[in-house]
Structure 1
Amino acid sequence: MHFYRLSRYVALVWEPTNCSVITALLSCCTRTFSTTRTFSVRKKSPYSSVDSDRYSSLVKSVSSHRVSAQTPENLEEQDVQLYGPVVKSSTTANRPPSPAKLPKTIHPLLNQEKSFAPGESYYEGAPDRIILQRGQDRGAVPSVTRILQQTMSPEQQFFLERWRKKMIAQLGEEGFKEYSQNLFRQGKLFHTAVENVLLTTQEADTTDPGQEAEVPAGIEGCLNSIRHVLDDIRGVRAIESRVLHDKLGYLGIVDCVALYKGVLCVIDWKTSERSKPFLSNTYDNPLQVAAYVGALNSDVNYNYQVENGLIVVAYKDGSPAHCHRMSSELVLQYWERWLVRLDEYTEKK
């Protein structure tokens, strides 16, 4: 039976009427094989691996933002996106990493003569508010801001100067001066509004922060951005108050000292047009908070001490603010780095 079927198939294939069909099939298979080989050996285009979405979004973000959105930080980020990270020379890359700098004088962050404040939900007394005496304090004792500005790394100085020149080229000298003054005024208005909200909340003992506080025009977005943060702040102990580290010789003004989710913190309010979801995005702000913590603990005007910090980044478009909590361990790490910057400032003087 099997032999019979095989003979039938052979006969069918070799019928003269089916020869043309077989020839056509063989020709089709040959063309398909040839085409397949052609595609397989074709060179891959060097542009096929380019992430077009990535670069189109970059160009769109650069060209669509207003001038005020350009900052030294995002210029640095754009360079990394366009050109990649900085590659060091072979001689430098082969060297072992240099050890981290250590402060010449180790000074404790905490004050053994002070106790920690109890974690009550509400602080009955009025918040401390020590005014900075411009004639006595300024000039004789450097501020935290001045020390950080004068000890910036060469990379930070480069991007800051490049940003300044770019802004002057677009706005002119007078326009850039006015732009800087407007930023400063907006920051002052925002800090004043937050102060009013916190004081109103504490006096009224309400659970709806900002309900009765007046909001200045132009900062509604920033205040809406931090409303969920204000819900977790209680027991305000200091607002816009000067702190002085007499032994190390520097001063600063803390934005706020209060309980955040039950933990006493030095709170620093920041505004931004760009998202800063990570602590590293805030650059020298953690050093600033650590310096304030150390100065407050050393200052005799405060009968308590703090070991935690909080950086709140408010956004002008009203999107929820990012809260960067600094634990006692993290504050201590930044405190050591602050001491190094303080040494550098002293050496420059």
Structure 2
Amino acid sequence: MFILKRVVSGGGIIVPRCTSHSVRNFSACHCLRSTKRLSPYNTVDSERYSSLVKSVMTSRTSSQTPETLQEEDENIYGPVIKAQTSKSRQDERVPKILHQFLQSEETMEAEELESGPPVQIPLKRDKGSPFIPSVTRILQQTLSPEQIFYLERWKKRMIAELGEDGFKEYTQNLFRQGKLFHSALEGILTSGVTIKDKSSGTAEDPAEVQGYLESISHILDDIGAVRAIESTVQHDTLNYVGIVDCVARYRGVLCVIDWKTSDKPKPFLSNTYDNPVQVAAYAGALNSDGNYKYQVENGLIVVAYKDGTPAHAHQLSAELMLQYWKTWLLRLEDFAEQRSSHTSSVYAKNK
């Protein structure tokens, strides 16, 4: 290795001179530059340091994992129970008695069936007669744990946003709008005017329902041969009553039709919750009610929107109706068990 040294000549001029030294003498030469600084990390246990870094990084990323987020959500709202489909519940339970959905395979001639005005049988509650529960009441009292959870969660959020009085006013407005919508729709379906001419509403209809009527206008174009409007149906064997919104032909198929309103889009049948069970319950009661001389195998759920967005129509085939009919029979069993337990507890207290 060659190193430059300073050599002073007689004239006082510094002349560089090349001198060779071995590598082992290199560290002894401190005239050219200072000794190289040692990094403090050189004395660190690299393996231990690496473990520390991994530990810190792991703790930082794991705080945002789905598992920890779910734990946080459960601490706030309680454990989340994944909803099961109607089909999966039926795989676990079957009705103790499989009551018939259709009471007769025979139907009347089309001309006779389609003649005459729509039937409207009012609901009568005689004080002296025994109480008969409605379809709506039975469904409300036999909600599954997950349905109750999500319903209560929605209610708490709405109250937090609107307050107690605001939420009460909100629900009252929903009920009133639904009633006005059904009333306006009844006028359209029972009037002598062609449905297509009145499907978008008139100036006589309340402003609050104009959007709903516009929403279902394309559905009404496919409705014909209306057989019943806001009419009571009763199943004497299973002991329940209901009021069907409409029985008519939709695209040529006779259906029990249920009209719904919603603030949020419901493009899939699964978005309608217990509505298919409700329709199956109405159809089963109608098929056993002597006031109706025909049988209905199919259903239709129409979801209308206030802003006039085209409504979603969810058709229930005969096969689907049978599935939801079985679910309805299970709900009836649950309701009967609840009433039996309540009666037993009241009897025990009074004993």
Counterpart position of 1:204:
193
Q: Secondary structure at the match of 2:226?
A: strand
> Of 260, 264, 286, which aligns to 1:270?
260
Q: Identity percentage over the alignment?
A: 61
Contact kept? 2:80, 2:146, Cα under 8 Å: no
Normalising to structure 2: TM-score of the pair? Answer: 0.68
Could you say which structure has the greater relative contact order, defined with CA pairs below 8 angstroms and 6 or more residues apart? 1
User: How many correspondences in the alignment?
Assistant: 263
Specify which of 333, 346, 350 is matched with residue 343 of structure 1.
333
Separation in structure 1 between the aligned mates of residue 178 and residue 129 of structure 2, nearest angstrom:
21
* CA–CA distance in structure 1, aligned partners of residues 124 and 279 of structure 2: 21
Mapping of residues 44-59 of structure 1, within 5 Å: none
Q: What's the CA shift string for 1:306-349, capped at 9, x where partnerless?
A: 11000001111111111100111110111011101110110111
SS in 1 for 2:293: coil
Contact 1:190 / 1:219 at 8 angstroms: preserved in 2?
yes
Cα distance, 1:159–1:139 mapped onto 2, change above 3 Å: farther
Residue pairs, 1:111-150, within 5 angstroms: 111-112=103-104, 115-119=106-110, 123-135=114-126, 140-150=131-141
Q: Deviations over 1:88-146 (max 9, x none)?
A: 9xxxxxxxx9942100111000012x733545699331111111114459970111111
Equivalent residues in 2 for 1:196-275, closer than 5 Å: 196-200=187-191, 203-205=192-194, 207-210=196-199, 213=202, 214-275=204-265
Higher strand share: 2
**Aligned AA for 1:184?**
F
From 127, 136, 142, give the equivalent of 1:151: 142
TM-score normalized by the length of structure 1: 0.68
Matched, 1:177 2:168: yes
Structure 2: state its 5+ residue gaps. 1-59, 65-72, 74-78, 83-88, 340-351
2:279 matched to 1:289?
yes
Distance 1:225 1:186, change over 3 A: same
Contact map agreement 1:121 1:235 (CA 8 A) in 2: no
Compute the displacement of 1:209 (Å): 3.8
Report if aligned partners of 2:224, 2:249 keep a CA contact under 8 Å in 1. yes
Instruction: State the match for 2:97 in structure 1.
Output: 105
Output the CA distance in 1 between the equivalents of 2:248 and 2:138.
26
Q: Return 5+ residue gaps in structure 1 as ranges.
A: 1-45, 51-78, 80-84, 89-96
The amino acid of 1:147's aligned partner reads: I
Of residues 187-196 and 130-139 in structure 1, the stretch that sits farther from structure 2 once superposed is 130-139
Offset, 1:192: 0.8
Q: Give the Cα–Cα distance (whole angstroms) in 2 for the partners of residues 215 and 226 of structure 1.
A: 15
Q: Distance in 2 between the 1:212 and 1:336 partners?
A: 38
Look at both structures and tell me which one has the larger radius of gyration over its CA atoms.
2
Cα 1:259–1:138 change in 2 (3 A) is farther
